Structure 1
Amino acid sequence: MSLRSTLAALAAVVTLALPLASSAQNLKMGYVDYQRVLLEVEDGKTAKARLQKWLDDRQKEIDKEQEALRKEKELLDKQASAMSEETRIQKATDLQKKILELAQKWDRYRAEAATKERQEMEPIVSKMDQVIAKLAERDGLSFVFERRDSGLIYAQTQYDLSNEVIRAYNALPKTATTKAPAPAPAPKDAPKK
C-alpha cells in the first residue's frame, strides 16, 4: 500500500471516528439488577410465594412417597431370608421400579416448576421492561443494561436504576395479569358438592 493510500485510509477513519467520539460524550447509560428487582417488587414476591407453596406441596408428596419406599425396603430386608429366591428378586425388582418412578416424578415436577416460574415471571418482566423504558426516556438514557447478563463487570452505583425500577413498578396500578391464576372450571359432568 502506498503512502498516499495509507494517508487517505487514515483520514477516512479519523473522519468517521470524530462524529462517533463527539456523540459518545452525550451517551448516558444505566443498569438494572433484574434478579433483585424480581425479588423485591410486590408482584415478584407474590409470585415467588405461590411458586414456593407449589414446590413445598410437591416436596411433601415426594418425601411421603420416599418414606413409604424406605419402609418397604426395610421390610423387604427383614423378610428376605424367609422368602424364596424368586419372590425376593421379584419384590426387589418391584421396589427398584417404584424408586425409578419416583425419581421420574421428581424430574417432571422440576420441569413443571421451571415452566410455572417462566409463566409467573413473564408478565412481571414485561411490565419491568416497560417501567425501565419509561425511566430511560425520562432520564435521556441511551442504554440500560442488565447487570448480570450483560457482561457488565463494574459500574458506579449512581448508574444503578434498580431502586427506581422497584419504586416505579410497585406504584403501577394492579392488574389481573399479576394475580394468581383462577382455578379451572369443573367439568360439566362432574358431581356437584
Structure 2
Amino acid sequence: MNTFHLTAFSANRREIACRAAVIVTCTVAACVLSLSPLSARAQDLKIGYVDRERVRVESLPAKTIEAKLHAEFSKRETELGEQEARLRAAAEELDKIAPTLPESERGRRQRELLEQDRNLARKRREFNEDFAQRVNEERAGLDSQAYIAIRRIFREEKYDLILQDALLVGPKVDITNQVIKALGTTGPPAK
C-alpha cells in the first residue's frame, strides 16, 4: 500500500489540465513556427520539452518532499491501520459470539461497532484530505522551483520555446534531465 506516491492524486483533473495545456502549447508553437520563414525555422529555432511528471518524481526536491510527507503522515497512517485491524477483529469476534448473546446485547454491540466504523471512516477521510492538501502545497512549491530552473535554462541556452506538455516528443528536444539536474544543484529555497 503506497499512499505516499505523489502522482496518485487528481488523475482526472491532471489529465484534463494536461490536454488543455497541450492544446494551448501546440497553438503557441504553431504561431511561433508560422511567424518565421521556413529556412529560418529549420536553422534558428531552438525548442525544448520538459516532462513535468518526471520532474515531480525523479528530482532531488521531489524525493525530499516524498520523504518529508512520509515522515509527516506515516504515524497517522499506522494508527489508522491499527484501528482498522482492531475494528475488524472486534467485528469477527462479535460474529463468533453473536448466536450466544441476548438480542439486546447483540444489538448494542452492533451499534457500537457501527459507530466506531463511522468514526474511523471520518478519520480516514480527514487523513486523505490533509494528505492531499499537503501534497498539493508541496507540489506547488516544486513546480515553482522547476519553473525557475526552466527559465534559467531558457535564458542561458537561448531557447525560443520550451514546452511542458506535449503529445509526442523526440529525444533531441527533451531537456527534462537538465531540469532535474538543475533542481538537484540548486536545492529547495530557504524558508
What are the superposed Cα offsets for residues 8-61 of structure 1, whole Å, 9 maximum, x if unpaired? xxxxxxxxxxx7242871443211112212222222211111112334322211
Match of 1:48 among 59, 66, 69: 66
Normalised by the length of structure 2, the TM-score is: 0.72
Distance 1:45 1:105 in 2: 27
Normalised by the length of structure 1, the TM-score is: 0.71
Instruction: Give the structure 1 partner of residue 106 of structure 2.
Output: 88
Deviation at 1:173, TM superposition (A): 5.7
Distance 2:188 2:108 in 1: 58
Question: What value does the CA root-mean-square deviation take over the aligned residues?
Answer: 2.3
Deviation at 1:157, TM superposition (A): 0.6
Instruction: Give the structure 2 partner of residue 182 of structure 1.
Output: none
Deviation at 1:89, TM superposition (A): 1.3
Match runs of 1:171-186 below 5 Å? 171-172=185-186, 175-177=189-191
Instruction: Give the structure 2 partner of residue 32 of structure 1.
Output: 50
Q: Which runs of 5+ in 2 are unaligned?
A: 1-33
* Contact 2:47 2:162 (C-alpha < 8 Å) held by counterparts: yes
Q: Which runs of 5+ in 1 are unaligned?
A: 1-18, 178-193
Equivalent residue of 1:159, what SS?
Answer: coil
Instruction: Give the structure 1 partner of residue 174 of structure 2.
Output: 160
Between the two proteins, the alignment pairs up a number of residues equal to 156
Among the aligned pairs, what percent are the same residue?
26
Match runs of 1:1-193 below 5 Å? 20-22=35-37, 25=41, 26-146=44-164, 150=165, 152-172=166-186, 175-177=189-191
**Structure 1 runs (4+) greater than 6 angstroms displaced:** none
